[in-house]
Amino acid sequence: VEIVTGDTKVVDRGHGDGVYINTAGVGSIRLPLDPDCPIRPGDAVVLSGDIGRHGIAIMAEREGIAFRSTIESDCAPLNHLVTRLLDRGIVPRCMRDLTRGGLATAIVELAAAARVRVELQGEAVAVEPEVRGACELLGLDPLYVANEGRMIAIVPAGQVDDALAVFRAENEHAGVIGYAGESERGGVNLISEIGTTRRLDLLSGEQLPRIC
C-alpha cells in the first residue's frame, strides 16, 4: 500500500468516540527544497497579516466567553497567496504557517535551524485591539497564539517590496517585522516600542487548549 499523505488528530483522553473529520492536501513542488532553511544575514521577515484572532476566537466559542466585540477567526487558505508570491518571481528562503505556537515559535524554530539572529520589531507586528485586550485579560501572549490563515516568508532584501505588495493585496496589516543578522547559535530578539529587548523562546506547554 502506497500512502501519499495523511494526518493525525490529537484528542483529549476519554474523548475519542464519535466522528472526527480530517483532511490532508497534496500539492506540487515548484522550487527546490532545502531542509536547512538557508536564511542569510540581511534577509527580511514578512508577515502576511494581523495575528492571534483564530486562537482567541476558538477559545471564546469553546469556553462561552463573551467579549465586547466579536473576534472572528483569521482562517483562510494560504496556497493562493504562496502561488502569487512565486508567480511574481519571488524566491523565499523559506516560508512557515503560524499555527500551533504562533508567530514566535515559528520564528524561533527557523532562526535556530539557520543559525541566524533575528530581530523583530514589536510595533510592526499587527494585533487587533480586541485581540490584544483579550490576551491581556486572559494573561496570554499574542505572539504565541495560534493562527489558521497567517504565514511568514523570509525573503532576500531585494525582494521585500514585491513580497510586501503581494501580502498587502490580501491584508492591509501585512508588514516587514524584522531582519536576520549574524549569529553562531541562532535566536530571536523582540524589540519593544520603547526600545527594550526580550528574547523569544519556544512555547513551553500550552497557552490554550489544542485547537488543531
Q: Is residue 48 part of a domain?
A: yes
Cα distance between residue 54 and residue 56, in whole Å: 6
User: With pLDDT > 90 as the criterion, what percentage of the chain qualifies?
Assistant: 65
* CATH number of the domain bearing residue 82: 3.90.650.10
Q: Is residue 211 part of a domain?
A: no
Cβ-Cβ contacts under 8 Å for 115 (sequence gap 6 or more): 183, 184, 185, 186
Q: Is residue 149 part of a domain?
A: yes
Confidence class for position 78, pLDDT limits 50, 70, 90 = very high
User: In degrees, to the nearest 5, what angle opens at C-alpha 12 toward C-alphas 8 and 17?
Assistant: 80
Q: Is residue 118 part of a domain?
A: yes
How many beta carbons lie within 10 A of that of residue 211, not counting itself?
A: 17
Say what the pTM is. Answer: 0.86
Range of the domain at 187: 44-200
Cα distance between residue 165 and residue 143, in whole Å: 23
Q: Is residue 60 part of a domain?
A: yes
| pLDDT at position 37 | 79
Q: Is residue 156 part of a domain?
A: yes
Strands in 175-181's sheet, in edge-to-edge order, are 94-97, 151-155, 44-47, 175-181, 117-121, 187-191, 197-200
Q: Is residue 114 part of a domain?
A: yes
Instruction: Give the amino acid at 154.
Output: I
* pLDDT, tens digit, 9 for 90 and up, residues 91-144: 999 999 999 899 999 999 999 999 999 999 999 999 999 999 999 988 999 999
Q: How many independent structural domains does the chain possess? A: 1
Q: Is residue 102 part of a domain?
A: yes
